[in-house]
Amino acid sequence: MDHPSASRLAVPEEDVIEAKAFIDLFMIAPQTLVDHAAFRCMQLGAGCAISLPSAPAIGLNRILGIAELDDLDTAYAWMSKKAGRRFLQVNPNAAPQQTRDWIRKKGLLPEGNGWAKLRRAAPITPLTHTGDIGTRQVNVAEAKIFGSMMCAGFNFPANLMPLWSAIVGKEGWTCFFAELKGKAIATGAMYASNGWAWLGGGATIPEFRNRGAQKALITARLNEGATQGVKSFVVETAQPTANDPNISHANLIATGFEQIYTRMNYRFSDVS
């Protein structure tokens, strides 16, 4: 893993904590998975470029939190040699003109509606959640169950189960199950560092969706983060539109998050 000099342009703290989470995910991934799945990560300033070609998710095949053009050039050259669908994530409304020009010159094209970035402050008093869904932290002995549930929820290949299993019990990470009548039906994860926390890993078994599991998991992580000294929580989800609503976005707004910007996903062309 490479560590070039820090970027000089400011990167939003909301992106910094997200990049930290994915850098840490790479650092703690089992070496066998890194080798067999060609999992790679390069840190650049406050951001990173990350590549896991067998993962269908944009989050594991993207450039994130990089602002300086020299660093973007480095990340682009690195990512161009990787397999799979690859993306650059940038908030075009905050990017300087030179960055937007650079994106055009590289032939990177926006795909989809982008990602909504949301943030909220830590609750002053513990939040409550009503309903039949309970939550609890995942035990290290349950790491494989957690990993397999996340793979199933995100439609990841089963061989990536060790990636998500590896975060259970690791420093900075807190993992949760949502349960219904004692059965684990959904997952959620939190990565905390320096007063910030990133929320991810929200996956629900299909037959138990739309029952409030993710709202319960959001509440549980907000409460736990507050006890750990977290001041600000951030999360991202697909940007909803009138014709394409997003229940995850609605759940976050309902639990006190506010959208602060939208990042576009600029896809690499097939020709490097």
Contacts 24+ apart (CB under 8 A), 2-8: 2/42, 2/43, 2/44, 3/43, 4/43, 4/44, 4/45, 4/71, 4/74, 5/45, 6/45, 6/46, 7/44, 7/45, 7/46, 7/47, 7/66, 7/67, 7/68, 7/71, 8/67, 8/68
pTM of the model: 0.94
Enclosing domain of residue 134: 123-230
Please give the tally of structural domains in the chain.
2
Residuewise pLDDT in 10s, the chain (272 residues): 544 444 367 899 999 999 999 999 999 999 999 999 999 999 999 999 999 999 999 999 999 999 999 999 999 999 999 999 999 999 999 999 999 999 999 999 999 999 999 999 999 999 999 999 999 999 999 999 999 999 988 889 999 999 999 999 999 999 999 999 999 999 999 999 999 999 999 999 989 998 999 999 999 999 999 999 999 999 999 999 988 899 999 999 999 999 999 999 999 987 44
The verdict on residue 270 lying in a domain is: no
The verdict on residue 19 lying in a domain is: yes
Residue 115 tokens read as 């990602």
The verdict on residue 2 lying in a domain is: no
**Domain boundary pick from 114, 134, 162:** 114
The verdict on residue 251 lying in a domain is: no
The answer on 226 and 127 residing in a single domain is yes
The answer on 127 and 189 residing in a single domain is yes
The answer on 204 and 152 residing in a single domain is yes
Residue 66 tokens read as 């990089």
The answer on 128 and 108 residing in a single domain is no
Identify any residues that bridge with 179 across adjacent strands, giving them in sequence order: 134, 184
CA–CA distance, 83 with 53 (Å, rounded to integer) = 6
Q: Is 187 left (phi over 0), alpha (psi -120 to 50) or beta?
A: beta
The verdict on residue 272 lying in a domain is: no
The verdict on residue 3 lying in a domain is: no
